[in-house]
Chains A and B, each alone.
Chain A
Amino acid sequence: MAQALNRLKESASQTAGPYVHIGLTPNFCDIKGVYPADLGATMVNEKTKGERITIRARVLDGTGTPLKDALIEIWQADADGLYNSPSEMRGTADPHFAGWGRKATDMDTGECVFETIKPGRVPFKNGRKMAPHISFWIVARGINIGLQTRMYFPEEEAANAEDPVLARIEHKVRVPTLIAQRAADGAYVFDIHLQGEKETVFFDI
């Protein structure tokens, strides 16, 4: 026998279920008057620094059908590549940008829209830099544990090519699943495929 490490086990995940909106976006599902606004609904104000961008995201199941009951949260650095977090030790992030957003996918179209800014580059270990990216966390009915992935930017070809996380993807044919597409109106379109040939790379991170 040796001494006990006395570690606890993480609480087991359970699905967010079909009524996740009640708890996380109550105004979106017509529960009015409890919270003034849904948390994470607005990410930027007029003082936020950086290039304004629009992201239209969907989550598609194994038949290619968009989920109409998914919830997506995003987390990103500010325009200078700093996170608005106590664990950010490199400097002070833009006080007008929390870097976190939350949207439910539309109950008819399955799309959700984030109005945010393009993040700066964040360092990896050993001084290498990651390409600009936004972390995604996806929950829904039928998803037993939240899915973690990232969205990268299509115009950042050079940065993407040297990104140490993208470099870890063995099957290069899957790298494009993490890179948004640019629509004619300038918005970034990011489809997250849960299954199939185009299955998005999800992380255990």
Chain B
Amino acid sequence: MSADPFSNRKPETGAFFQRDRLWHPPAFTPDYKTSVLRSPQKALLSLDNTLSEITGPVFGHNMLGELDNDLIHNFAKPGESAIGPRIIVYGRVLDERGKGVPGALLEFWQANAGGRYRHKKEGYLAALDPNFGGCGRTITNEEGNYAFRTIQPGPYPWPNGVNDWRPAHIHFSVFGHGFAQRLITQMYFEGDPMIWQCPIVKTIPDRAAVESLIAALDREATIPMDARAYKFDIVLRGRRSSLFENRLEGN
């Protein structure tokens, strides 16, 4: 067994719950035009997890730099900071059983306050912020909690329809404990009317599934005279208990 970064927690070896493909966006969503030529058309091959999916890479807290969870400062010149509404994003990574997921690597990226990404393929005329790079990362603690500082990103136009705009959002990449839990999603902001006009949001068929991607403004977690706070919990696939199953290693 590999070194366990999760203290005295016993590693789990059960297969992950079947993914609810009706809850996630389907591959083919013609109103999001790029999906048309990039969506598999044949049926997926459904298989119970093998060891190759039950296992997954581990990332230790020692890989993190001091400013990795502070997008206001991690690209800024010394003594300067990114421009925009200062916010804290915090929450918990859980699995479908409601258990906290410790040691989960979260990576996030976003546009600046004007809605501009720092990327050579980005053509929006909004200005770059010389003090904002747009990436950050953190690892959940023993209870599955995480937090980071950033600025609230702006909405931006994108070439899909003639006049399509993305609502303000932060991209999240999430690792759980098994490669089968790998997930990328996006966080939206409570009260933004543009969420419900977005072709990418609308790839998700279920309104409740969209609502679970909208972070709540949390006045109680706000730091007075510093930053507002948004709460964003993330749920990864749960896994079966292996109590009554033949142990993969035994047989």
**A residues adjacent to B (C-beta < 8 A):** 6-24, 26, 29-31, 33-36, 39, 61-63, 67, 69, 73, 75-77, 83-93, 98-100, 107, 122-127, 130, 133, 135, 137, 139-148, 150, 165, 168-169, 174, 194-195, 199-205
Contact = CB atoms under 8 A, between A and B. Distances in A.
Interface in B58-115: 58-59, 63, 65, 67-68, 74-75, 94-98, 107-109
Contacts, number: 295
A133 B51 CA distance: 12
B58 A85 contact: yes
A81 B83 CA distance: 49
Nearest to A77: B52
A123 B26 CA distance: 32
B161 interface: no
B interface residue count range (under 10 / 10 to 19 / 20 to 34 / 35 or more): 35 or more
Contacts of A90: 249
B166 to A, nearest CB: 9
Contacts of A8: 94-98, 235, 238
Among A87, A89, A127, residue most surrounded by chain B Cβ atoms (within 10 Å): A87
Interface in B173-192: 173-174, 177-180, 182-186
Contacts of A125: 50, 246, 248, 251
B158 to A, nearest CB: 9
B203 interface: yes
Contact of B185 (A12, A148, A174, A202): A12
A14 B25 contact: yes
B23 interface: yes
Contact of B133 (A26, A150, A168, A202): A26
Contacts of B171: 14, 16-17, 19-20, 23
Contacts of A76: 52
A87 B177 CA distance: 8
B34 A87 contact: no
Contacts of A195: 37-41
